[in-house]
Amino acid sequence: MTPARRAARAILLGAGFFVAPDGMAEAPAAIPRPFHVIAHRGASSFAPENTLPAFARALEIGVVEVELDVQLSRDLVPVLFHDRTLDAKTPLRGRVRDHLAAELQRADIGLWFDGTHPDRKPRWAGTTLTTLPELFAAFGSKLHYHVEIKDEHEQTPARVLAAISAAGLESRVTLTSFYRAQLERARRRAPDLPSCWLLEHALPELLDAAAGAGIAMVGVRTSELSAELVLQAHARGLEIRAFRVETDADMERALRSGCNGMTLDAPERLIARLLEALRAPGRARPRHAIDRPEG
C-alpha cells in the first residue's frame, strides 16, 4: 500500500486522523471527526452506479463508506437501483417493482455507463444490476453502507432490515431516505440502527423533527448548506452531511461549513483535498504509522 493510500485510509477510519506523538488526534481546522467520505452509489464516476464494480473501486481508492439505493422487486427482493423507472439505464421498462429479481439481475447497466462516459476505461458493457444480499455477501464488514430506501413500498424497510440481519451487518449500516415514514417503519423494528433523513429543504423545524424522532443524521443539498445550519444541527445532537456535491466549489463550500461529511461521485477528489489540508504550510506534520516503512 502506498503512503498516499495509507494516508487516505487513516483519514477515513474514524480515529484515523493523524495522531501526534502526545496521543492527541489532529485534524484540519473546521473539519470535525468523524468525517464521512461517502462514495455516491459506489465510486460512480469510475464504474456503473450501484453495481459491484463501483463498490470495489471505492475500496481500491481507500473509501470505506458507500451510499446505495434500494427498491423492492416484484418478488420483494431489495435491488440496487436509483431511478423511478428502468427505462433510461437498462434494457428493461417500467419500475423495479414490475420485475422479478432474477430478471433485474440480468439487466445490463454497463452499456448505459459506457454511453455516458465515452472516455472512461475500462468499458463496462455486460455489468448487471445487483441485490442488497449480493452486495453484503461480496463485501461484508469491509464497508459501511448508507442504504437509501428509494421507494415508498411499505415492506421495503422490513426486507432491508432482514437482509442486514442475515448478513450480521447491523453495526455497519446507516439507513437513509427522503421518506420519513420509511425511516419510522425501520426504527420501530430496529430502534438502535442509525438513520439519516435526507431533507428536501434545510429548515430549522425539520431539524427539530429529526432530533425528536431519534434520527442520528440529516443530509442537505450543498447549495443549502451553511455554517449556521451546521451549528443548528449540532445543537440538536444531529450530524449533518452534504449531498449534490458536483463541483470543487461545492466541495469547498461543504468543508467550510464544518459539516460531518459528504456524498460524492468522485471521492478521490475529497481524499486529495483532505490530505492537502493536513499538509498545508504552517501545520506541523504529525507522526503516524503511515510514516513508517512497510515490512
Continuous segment of H or E residues that includes residue 153: none
CB 131 within 8 A of CB 78: yes
Q: Please state, rounded to an integer, the average pLDDT across all residues of the chain.
A: 87
What gap in Å lies between CA 102 and CA 75, rounded to an integer? 9
What gap in Å lies between CA 210 and CA 198, rounded to an integer? 10
Q: Domains in the chain and their CATH numbers?
A: 36-278 (3.20.20.190)
Tens-digit pLDDT profile for residues 69-105: 999 999 999 999 999 999 999 999 999 999 999 999 9
Residues forming a β-bridge with 36: 261
Tens-digit pLDDT profile for residues 162-172: 999 999 999 99
Q: What angle do CA 58, 257, 204 make, to 5 degrees?
A: 105
Q: Which of 7-16, 266-275, 286-295 has the highest mean pLDDT?
A: 266-275
SS3 assignment, position 240: strand
Amino acid in position 234: H
C-alpha cell at 14: 474514524
Judged against a pLDDT cut of 70, whether residue 180 lies above it is answered with yes
The length of the chain, given as a count of residues: 295
Name the residue with higher pLDDT: 275 or 210: 210
pTM, 2 dp: 0.86
